[in-house]
Amino acid sequence: MSQGFIDFWQTMYRNKKAFSGMIILAIFIFMAIFGPMMASLDMTVNFDGRYKSPSFAHWLGTDYGGRDTFLQLVYGSRDVLSIGLFAALFTLVLGFVIGAVSGFVGGKTDTVLMFITNLFLTVPSFPVLMIVAALVQIKNPVMFSFILAAWSWAPLARAIRSQLLSLKNREFIIACRIMGLKTPYILFREILPNLTPYLAINFIMAAQGAIVASVGLMMLGLAPYSPTNWGMMIQLAVQNTGGIFNPKGYIYLISPIMCLGLFQMACIFFSNGLEEALNPRLRS
């Protein structure tokens, strides 16, 4: 186990893009977990302290209500990253189960599951998410994450099915069938480990996509009100400060946009070297 961790670390370190992405992601995760524990956020309106410039007291200045911009980003990161984490997890489970069963079982099961998958692929996801978010009362991040995952699993399921079509005729799978092992055992104990690098990369990219979608829905006001969510910060910056035209509100507007862009870049860079780090054949 320790040697595997060392090999993973050395591979990621050699890939400078992947290493920088991993460091940035680690900073965001640390900020989301420990940031709210290290500093308290006061959301009380203080008009005397509005639009303050960056200083040691307020690293990114204050917003239109005199509240610390940096602390809002810190507190909002927990909400944003938790939605991305749960949505990516749900996407991975749905995509793997549906794609694996479709490719491994075949026949009418494959036909029905692929028909449903293609149906989800042909429907544009974000407009549907807007409608669902407007109709369904979203009460917590887990429910929000499941709604996001419900319209993002189809591409992964189709890709997993393609992988299964090539894996199910391998010698070790044929041997499992001859031994009479059940389908769930073969899928989760024999096939799943072979797909770990691919699933890990898709987990990162699914989290990235879910965060972008959640911020977009929050910015449009179609998700539960959370004033520190990055999407809501963008909406409030535009509506309450005229952030596009008011120079005093530029920092409050640009900060969540920069965080979102930096997180997306980190996900792309990290996934760039993840497959090499998890696949010994690529390392050699």
**Taking CA 175 as the corner, what is the angle to CA 174 and CA 181, rounded to the nearest 5 degrees?**
95
Predicted local distance difference test score (pLDDT) of residue 231: 86
What type of residue is 41?
Answer: L
Q: Which domains does the chain have, with CATH numbers?
A: 10-39+68-283 (1.10.3720.10)
* CA-closest candidate to residue 83, choices 25, 27, 139, 143: 143
pLDDT at 276 over 80: no
Q: Strand (E) positions, the chain?
A: none
- Alpha carbon 262 to its chain centroid, in Å, reads 13
The DSSP 8-state label assigned to residue 52 in this structure reads: P
For residue 269, give both structure tokens.
Answer: 């860079």
Instruction: Give the pLDDT confidence of 156-210 residue by residue, as tens digits.
Output: 999 999 888 888 778 888 888 888 888 788 888 888 888 888 888 889 989 988 8
What does pLDDT average to over the chain? 84
* CA-closest candidate to residue 12, choices 4, 20, 24, 3: 20
- What is each CA distance from 36 to 52, 73, 145, 220, 252, in whole angstroms? 22, 10, 22, 26, 19
